[in-house]
Amino acid sequence: MTFLHVAAPGYEHHRVPLGIGESAPRLSWTVETDLPGWRQRAYEIELSDGTATGPVESGRSVLVGWPGTELASRERRGARVRVHGQDGSVSDWSPWSWAEAGLLEAADWRAVPAAPPRELLGAPDGPAPLLRRDFTVRGPVDRARLYVTAYGLHETEINGTVVGDEVLAPGWTSYSHRLRYRTHDVTGLLREGGNAVGATLADGWYRGRVGFEGGRTRVYGDRTALIAQLEITYTDGTTDVVATDGSWRCAPGPVTAASLYDGERHDARLLPPGWSRPGFDDASWLPADALPYDPARLVAPAGPPVRRVETLAPAEVTVSPSGRTILDFGQNVSGRLRIRVQGPAGHTVTLRHAEVLQDGELCVRPLRAADATDVYTLRGGGVEEWEPRFTLHGFRYAEVGGWPGAFDPACVQAVVCHTDMERTGWFDSSDGDLNRLHDNVLWSMRGNFVDVPTDCPQRDERLGWTGDIQVFAPTSAFLYGCAGMLASWLADLAAEQAELGTVPVYVPWIQLLFPTEPVAAWGDAAVVVPWTLYERYGEEGLLRTQYPSMKAWVDQCAGRAGDGRLWDTGFQLGDWLDPAAPPDRPFEARTDRALVATACLARSARLLAQAAAVLGEEEDHRRYGGLADQVGAAFEAEYVSPSGRLVGDSQTAYALALQFDLIAGAGRRARAGRRLVELVRESGHRIGTGFVGTPLVCDALVAAGAVDDAYHLLMQRECPSWLYPVTMGATTVWERWDSMLPDGTVNPGDMTSFNHYALGAVADWLHRTVAGLAPAEPGYRRILVRPLPGGGLRHASAAHLTPYGRAEVRWRRAAGRFELEVVVPAGATATVVLPSGPGSRIEVGAGRHRFEDAFRDAADDPVAERPGFFGPPDPQRDGAAGLAVQDA
């Protein structure tokens, strides 16, 4: 009995398409079938307004253009899909899915920012005032929507109930360019007659302290404000709008201080009971000020918000040498604690946080100027539950002070908070430490995808460093559906770039110590991140949107490189934090910074040329292809000897030259590859790369034919290596190879985070090469299955929810045999290359496939000292070395 089902279509990258900002949302669907090799020949879309496309001859099912008239603000429309297979099969109609537009025009906004009067604001990161108003619901309600955002952070309530489940709303965008609002269905919170709406407003990124070396406050303004528009549609079709303006009333609340870095202070005795319920007497409250503003800055979200995603119970409770109660949650996270406590009114409980212990006490030095301390003062008279709302900490350990009575660990939980993305990627192998490394990468992504892709979640920093996401983007796009979140961040990147004249080193930009100069590998995020989202999600539309930003970046860097095409001037961060860099001078890596910059320019020019081809920009395609060639030639002339040795004799220099294709001639490339292998062996198979070389070095070794050395490097447990932190009990990826030194002390450097994803970029290699699941065409329309077994692994597997559905690769080997199982989702195909070599390249379609091959692992044979089994990947053969540009 065969089946052919289409899932209800999804809209853009929305998990819940309510209040979307796209008036013509693109639709995507997946097909499930047991028809072998199924491919779509045509699709039909029907919209709830009667629009019907009829069969459209096309294999596309990912981000397909909206077939109807544009949605108006507030309009709700449904869509369903039916597909026709190349084999003549026809599915039933999918279920309907519905999208609702948000407020698409500036003119839709009646709300103006309602700002608490200045006397209710303290110094930045001070008290969080309340504001409220009553309103009347005239009759039976058909639907009600709250469109809401803030200057600062808000938590909004209607009739005593918190609206939605967002954390740190409205998140962080480049507020001076884009301020995100969210749409909530609040129909169920209203009742006929008297109602009330209220909000707590904290400073957050808007007015609070942000940044290192003292940071800055009031970056975006000195007045926090709520912008809220409640639209009530009655069953008789009439509407009412309750919007923020000068009629709202304000008063101090229980939050006496709230800082993203320092923590929150909450005095429960100060909460005015019933303040967000109707009929509350606010006569003594002060009127809000209505601030002028431009609603054109308000944008709908492209991805999900930050939420409470998981809670953890303490794994262990200990008493430290100094007598303090310390909780170990067993996992380094971003989040905060929730406590349940009972005690006398006015009693205070203090919660401190840290990522590591030293000498049995919280080690807070790595937090630098982030106090990470929450303080709760009890109301008294019963059990009280509390979780701070306007702060976030990076921690595994917490110290509980002042607990009234005997401490019960069941009364404390860690609440993990991050952008609520869909999990899409999994990896497993026969090596427990390798699996833990992968878990650590996953947790570092979770710890740092907090609306903005940040460097770290714990110290006085937490900025959207462009270099970090530049190297981590491929890994993140495998693990979670992050296209929406990153598309929003890229819009900020482009906005900052347009204003500053360059891509800054972090986005959103705040003027701190760094100059606004182009910095290689960091600013390259402008090109690499959109290209990665195209590769991984088939996001051609985003490539189009970001194209001017991509071009402006490459043009600017080419200008820096000048006619000589070598980028060897200006401020550079280089191969940041390679293991040779002194603790206090992370930029003093082994690899010449100008070499890094020129290599990065060559690659970005090449990717831009490929993007131009995808977008049909023929002239640009030629122009930037030519630029890439020139920069590559200049690189060679300057840095590569006639025989293929590099001037910068480092793992990163060779990895860059090989992976960015900067050495002409097979013989010279082979020579460079041999030298990389030598360097890796000379180092005793210890890693020698920083942020720039780390994502490349294993691929470069494979390209050099040295699969065994790549595995040896990967499986190294001595410091510095990927697995060394695992042996030290790490539960996230560290900023430095040795954030914790082998003697258990914390690295003395001023920059020592235990939760930084950049060096975890190797996970992409685990997915693509160890397990063997890689995109060969955009959005995994064609999958390259080319596992390279090694390292003594007995099995490995990966699974990924591609835009076409779930793909799986799993292999195991025993007694010289290699068994491979591949699942290809409907609508996609796969090219399978077995370990015994290119001759075994096999094309397969949708379905489950099994293969067998002969294989012997060098790691099983302790005396074996030989080069790898395979030649370098051949793009013509494998199609995937740098993702082939898809022909239309």
Task: Summarize as ranges the residues that interact with ligand BGC (CB under 6 A).
Answer: 455-456, 461, 465, 467-468, 573, 576, 751, 756
Residue with tokens 């008297």: 194
Catalytic (active site) residue 496: no
How many whole angstroms separate alpha carbon 770 and alpha carbon 752? 30
Distance in angstroms (rounded) separating the CA atoms of residues 340 and 460: 29
- Nearer Cβ to ligand BGC (3/571): 571
CA dihedral 500, 482, 659, 810 (to 10 degrees): 170
Query: Which among 674, 568, 563, 659 is positioned nearest to 606, based on CA atoms?
Result: 659
Q: Which of 166, 355, 399, 461 is catalytic?
A: 461
Q: Which residues pair with 308 in a beta bridge?
A: 417
- 163 or 692: whose CB is closer to ligand BGC? 692
* Of residues 11, 5, 12, 13, the one with CA closest to residue 422: 13
Nearer to ligand BGC, 248 or 734 (CB): 734
CB of 461 to ligand BGC, least distance (A): 6
Structure tokens, 443: 């947790």
> 785 - beta bridge partners?
773, 832
Query: Which residue's CB comes closest to ligand BGC?
Result: 455
- Report the number of secondary-structure helices (H) and strands (E) in the chain: 15, 46
Q: How far is Cα 820 from Cα 796, in angstroms, rounded to an integer? A: 10
Angle, CA of 808, 813 and 815, to the nearest 5°: 165
Task: Tell the smallest beta-carbon distance from residue 230 to ligand BGC (Å).
Answer: 41
Instruction: Tell me the closest approach of the beta carbon of residue 468 to ligand BGC, in angstroms.
Output: 5
- Please report how close the Cβ of residue 553 comes to ligand BGC at its closest, in angstroms: 17
Least distance to ligand BGC from the beta carbon of 586, Å? 7
Which of 401/515 has CB closer to ligand BGC?
515
Q: What span, in angstroms and rounded, lies between the C-alpha atoms of 766 and 532?
A: 17
| Cα R_g (the chain), whole angstroms | 28
Q: Which is nearer to ligand BGC, 427 or 576 (CB)?
A: 576
**From CA 24, how far away is CA 70, in angstroms rounded?**
5
Return the number of the residue (553 or 811) whose C-beta is nearest ligand BGC: 553
- To ligand BGC, the closest distance from the beta carbon of 645 in angstroms equals 30
- CA atoms within 13 A of residue 591's CA, in its CB half-sphere: 32
Query: Closer CB to ligand BGC, residue 463 or residue 823?
Result: 463
Q: Which letter does DSSP use for residue 788 in this model? A: -
CB 131 within 8 Å of CB 250: yes
Residues 570/518, Cβ–Cβ less than 8 Å = yes
Helical axes 483-500 vs 540-561, angle rounded to 10°: 40
Residue with Cβ nearer ligand BGC (31 or 456):
456
- Asked if 358 and 395 count as a contact pair (C-beta separation under 8 A), the reply is no
Which residues, at least 6 apart from 823, have a Cβ–Cβ distance to it below 8 Å?
806, 807, 808, 809, 847, 848, 849
Respond yes or no: is residue 735 known to be catalytic.
yes
CA dihedral for 451, 455, 459, 461, sign (positive or negative): negative
Residue indicated by tokens 């006496």: 256
Half-sphere exposure of 20 (CA within 13 A, CB side): 26
Nearer Cβ to ligand BGC (461/708)? 461
> CA 583, CA 4: separation in Å to the nearest integer?
58
Provide the annotated active-site residues: 461, 735
